[in-house]
């Protein structure tokens, strides 16, 4: 396994991060336990979850993933072996704290304490703001339209987070689904006001969505706030299993087709087919090629993988051993030029 520092902390996190959002929906607790054991045994010490999970999100499965992880910690007593990240949900879902999902005051306190109880731990290593309170064009939305809504000042958010860091409930904080403007404002406030510094940006990044490179890549490198890439396989499209519009039984697209609209965009199939041909030409597993491309980026801290079978998990973890030479990278970049970011 490979490791990198998380921001400017002293934490060495694996460059493969264990994603967990299917646990409690597509995966049972026993299957999740097996994934956790295998991952830790193979050097994956960095795990990511959220109060929102399992996914697709709904009231019936809210918090289930954290509960499963907490049950594993209780059973194995291995909490200290894991660098654990979780996320507090922003506004939008009424079943989360009755829709009062702001990042300050009692709302934040209740969210954090709820996660700690479910996870059966007294601290979270990296606590992330799952999506901004203000209106931004994330989750596949294009064409920014400025629409003001109520949101807490960043300084107030950081002051509230500092309280929980001082109490030992959080070690570090991070962002998710954030914009360059948001990231830089948080960083500047931390510097000017001696407030907690954001240590990571969990945003989408894959061969089908390299939009992170436009503004956030430079921020990540210069400010030492690396990317935690989610959806590196574009919900399975970059495994090749959905080629020719085939949706295997039990797959995300077969189970929840209407939810995963982000990857059903013009030129997606064409780009996937070209990437598939590259993997075959160079005798590479398509999943491993896709994950390794993400891991190799200078702005990357860790790539969050998600698997529903042990075979998938093993393939994904083994991607760290793959080497992508200059010819492979050249051909990948040519596809990007031909079909730029079909699934932002």
Chain segment 163-218, per-residue pLDDT in tens: 999 999 999 999 999 999 999 999 999 999 999 999 999 999 999 999 999 999 99
pLDDT of residue 229: 98
Q: What is the mean pLDDT of residues 56-64?
A: 96
Q: Are strands 198-204 and 170-176 parallel, antiparallel or unpaired?
A: parallel
Cα Rg of the chain (Å, integer): 19
Using alpha carbons only, what angle is made at residue 324 by residues 217 and 245, rounded to the nearest 5 degrees?
85
Domains assigned to the chain: 3-259+287-324 (3.20.20.100)
Mean pLDDT within 34-46: 98
pLDDT (0 to 100) of residue 252:
64
144 is catalytic: no
pLDDT (average), residues 129-156: 87
Q: Catalytic: which of 38, 53, 212, 339?
A: 53
- Read off the pLDDT of residues 307-337 as tens digits, 9 standing for 90 and up: 999 999 999 999 999 999 999 999 999 999 9
Closest listed residue to residue 13, CA positions, set 49, 47, 48, 46: 46
Decide if pLDDT at 146 tops 90. no
Please give the helix or strand (H or E) that residue 151 lies within, else none.
Answer: none
The pLDDT of residue 11 is 98
Q: Which two tokens stand for residue 309?
A: 């079978």
pLDDT score of 71: 98
Ranges of beta strands (E only) in 89-233 are 124-129, 170-176, 198-204, 227-230
Overall average pLDDT of the 251-278 stretch: 81
Distances (CA, A) of 26 to 181, 185, 232, 234: 36, 38, 19, 17
Is the predicted pLDDT of residue 2 greater than 80, yes or no?
yes
- Can you spell out the DSSP letters for 288-339? HHHHHHHHTSTTEEEEEE--SSHHHHHHHHGGGG----HHHHHHHHHHHHHS
Q: Residue 143's pLDDT is what?
A: 78
Q: Which among 174, 166, 63 has a CA at the least distance from the CA of 129?
A: 174
Distance CA 177, CA 195 (A): 21
Sorting pLDDT into bands at 50, 70 and 90, what band is 97? confident
Over residues 45-54, the pLDDT tens digits come to 999 999 999 9
């Amino acid at each position: 396994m490979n490791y990198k520092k998380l921001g400017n902390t002293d934490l060495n996190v694996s460059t493969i991060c264990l994603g967990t959002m299917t646990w409690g929906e597509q995966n049972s607790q026993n299957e999740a336990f097996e994934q956790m054991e295998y991952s830790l045994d193979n050097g994956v010490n960095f795990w990511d979850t959220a109060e929102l999970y399992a996914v697709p999100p709904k009231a019936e499965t809210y918090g289930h993933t954290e509960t499963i992880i907490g049950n594993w910690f209780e059973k194995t007593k291995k909490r200290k072996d894991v660098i654990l990240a979780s996320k507090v949900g922003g506004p939008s879902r009424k079943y989360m704290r009755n829709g009062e999902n702001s990042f300050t005051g009692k709302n934040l306190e209740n969210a954090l304490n709820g996660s700690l109880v479910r996870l059966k731990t007294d601290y979270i290593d990296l606590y992330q703001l799952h999506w901004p309170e203000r209106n931004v064009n994330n989750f596949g939305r294009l064409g920014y339209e400025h629409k003001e809504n109520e949101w807490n000042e960043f300084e107030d958010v950081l002051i509230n987070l500092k309280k929980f860091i001082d109490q030992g409930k959080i070690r570090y904080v991070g962002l998710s689904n954030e914009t360059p403007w948001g990231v830089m404002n948080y960083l500047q406030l931390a510097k000017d006001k001696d407030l907690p510094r954001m240590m990571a940006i969990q945003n989408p990044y894959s061969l089908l969505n390299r939009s992170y490179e436009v503004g956030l890549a430079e921020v990540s490198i210069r400010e030492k706030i690396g990317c935690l890439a989610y959806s590196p396989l574009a919900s399975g499209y970059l495994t090749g299993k959905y080629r020719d519009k085939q949706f295997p039984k039990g797959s995300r697209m077969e189970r929840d087709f209407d939810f995963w609209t982000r990857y059903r965009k013009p030129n997606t199939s064409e780009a996937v087919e070209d990437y598939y041909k590259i993997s075959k030409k160079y005798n590479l597993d398509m999943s491993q090629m896709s994950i390794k491309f993400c891991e190799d980026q200078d702005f990357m801290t860790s790539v969050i993988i998600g698997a529903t079978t042990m075979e998938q998990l093993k393939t994904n973890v083994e991607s760290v051993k793959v080497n992508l030479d200059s010819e492979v990278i050249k051909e990948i970049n040519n596809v990007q030029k031909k079909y730029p970011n079909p699934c932002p």
